[in-house]
A and B are shown apart, each in its own frame.
Chain A
Amino acid sequence: MTTPASPARATTRRWTLGAAALGWAAAYALNEVAWTWLYGTVLGLDITTGWASMLHFFSYDTIKITLLLTGIIFVVTVLRSFMSIERTRALLGGKREGIGNVLAASLGVVTPFCSCSAVPAFIGFVASGIPLGVTMSFLIASPLVNEVAIALLLGLFGIGPTLLYVGAGLVIAIVAGMVIGRLRLEGQVESFVYETRLRGQVIDSTAGLSWDDRLAMGREEVASILRRIWPYLLVGIGLGAVIHGWAPADFFARYAGPDNPFAVLVAVGIGVPLYSNAAGILPLIDALYAKGMPMGTLLAFMMATVALSLPEMILLRRVLKPRLIATFATVTALGIVAVGYLFNAIL
């Protein structure tokens, strides 16, 4: 781990990174042209309608989304290796509610974290004296505002909707955590959490890493996320392609457009039990947006899908009693619904 920095090695690393970045940019720039050439010129298909249009969209979208995911997950993981959950906890120590919630939600976005560690992180936070509401702000923000969603929103919709999503996710996490704090639900935490005595020295999980280690972590994270999400990704892009090629242009606008007051409620109602991740949902959202569904409804649908998942709640049941889990889910879902209506009203 403590490889001495040798100049020759640093030069090789710079060249490899530079070549990879160049290859990535070239593939991204040529993606659409290459598929249009293959299907249109080489195979002589009319790629503006029906099956050929679907096939063209599917090929192009799969490559584009894989490239976006690879690039952004790699960069985010390398940057995040400078942050750790141990440091996050130290930063949150002694903070009051309010400012603590704001800080916890923001740190939830930048701290490397996976929901498989939700339980030890929860115990580590609460047992060290961080208020329950502040801890919940962290636990809500972490899956709600995630790098996969940011990567795909940026690539598919641009910077505006991406910032809206990040801002809305932070506000939901802050407010939901404050509400849970006010409700005085400390008795709804399994009592062993408060009895846990933290002993031993705390070691920082990312201390003493060299650049080679951090780049290797980036590569491993890309591989592990792609391995986990590719089935969702293909189903999402496939459904998106079907909608793209076959659904009439105003189909969704007519039934789930801005004029339907229940559209957001229905979208969140479908999204909460639906367990997927951002990678599966966003290609679908892209296609639905093109067919006239409003952004607020779509963002609400995506947030409901990624923020609240049954597997995570089953894990959290080890430390939280059912009433607190129900409160957590209800408050978060209400926040998402409110954000959906707000965006539909102002956009």
Chain B
Amino acid sequence: MHVKILGSGCANCVNLENATRQAVDELGIDATFEKVTDYADIAAYGIMRTPGLVVDEQVLLSGRVPTASQVKDLLSAD
């Protein structure tokens, strides 16, 4: 699983990454993380509110910071 955290280094992006790392750990998934900070790349995903969460090129979430259990729901819904 390849996880991308989209956002230009704001506090929300760090919080989103932490929540996602926790969710991935709890689910026991093997995942690589990547930070996307370039605005053109972020916008190309159709995201207009940072932070954004992209997993295997699928946009799962944008515009808010979820809790770890909400990320777990999103990840296991796939």
Interface residues, chain A, with chain B CB atoms under 8 Å away: 1-2, 84-86, 89, 112-113, 116-117, 119-121, 123-125, 127, 192-193, 195-203, 205-206, 217, 318-319
Contacts and interface: CB of A to CB of B under 8 A. Distances in A.
B55 interface: no
Contact of B48 (A117, A217, A319): A117
A123 B63 contact: no
B62 interface: yes
Contact of B39 (A1, A84, A197, A318): A318
27 contacts: A1-B66, A1-B73, A85-B48, A86-B48, A113-B49, A117-B50, A119-B8, A119-B39, A120-B50, A121-B49, A123-B48, A124-B43, A124-B46, A127-B43, A192-B40, A195-B40, A196-B40, A196-B43, A200-B46, A201-B59, A203-B59, A203-B60, A203-B61, A203-B62, A205-B62, A205-B63, A205-B64
A336 to B, nearest CB: 27
A113 B39 CA distance: 17
B44 A197 contact: yes
Which 5 residue pairs spanning A and B have beta carbons closest together? A205-B63, A123-B43, A124-B48, A202-B46, A121-B48
B42 interface: yes
A112 B50 CA distance: 12
B70 interface: yes
B64 A217 contact: yes
A119 B39 CA distance: 7
B44 A205 contact: no
Contact of A123 (B39, B59, B60): B39
Given A1-B70, A193-B40, A318-B39, 13 more contacts: A1-B74, A117-B50, A119-B8, A120-B43, A192-B40, A196-B43, A197-B44, A200-B46, A201-B59, A203-B60, A203-B62, A205-B62, A205-B63
Residue of B8, B49, B57, B63 most packed against chain A (CB within 10 A): B49
B49 A85 contact: yes
B63 A85 contact: yes
A203 B55 CA distance: 14
B51 to A, nearest CB: 10
B11 to A, nearest CB: 10
A154 B39 CA distance: 37
A202 B62 CA distance: 10
Nearest to A114: B49
Interface string B11-25: 000000000000000
A2 B46 contact: no
B3 to A, nearest CB: 16
B49 A200 contact: no
- The residue among B8, B39, B42, B50 with the most chain A CB atoms within 10 A of its own CB is B39
A116 B50 contact: yes
Interface in B23-78: 39-40, 42-50, 57-64, 66, 70, 73-74
A318 B39 CA distance: 8
Given A85-B63, A205-B64, A217-B64, A120 B70 contact: no
Contact of A89 (B8, B48, B61): B48
A121 B43 CA distance: 8
A70 to B, nearest CB: 20
Nearest to A125: B48
A211 B40 CA distance: 34
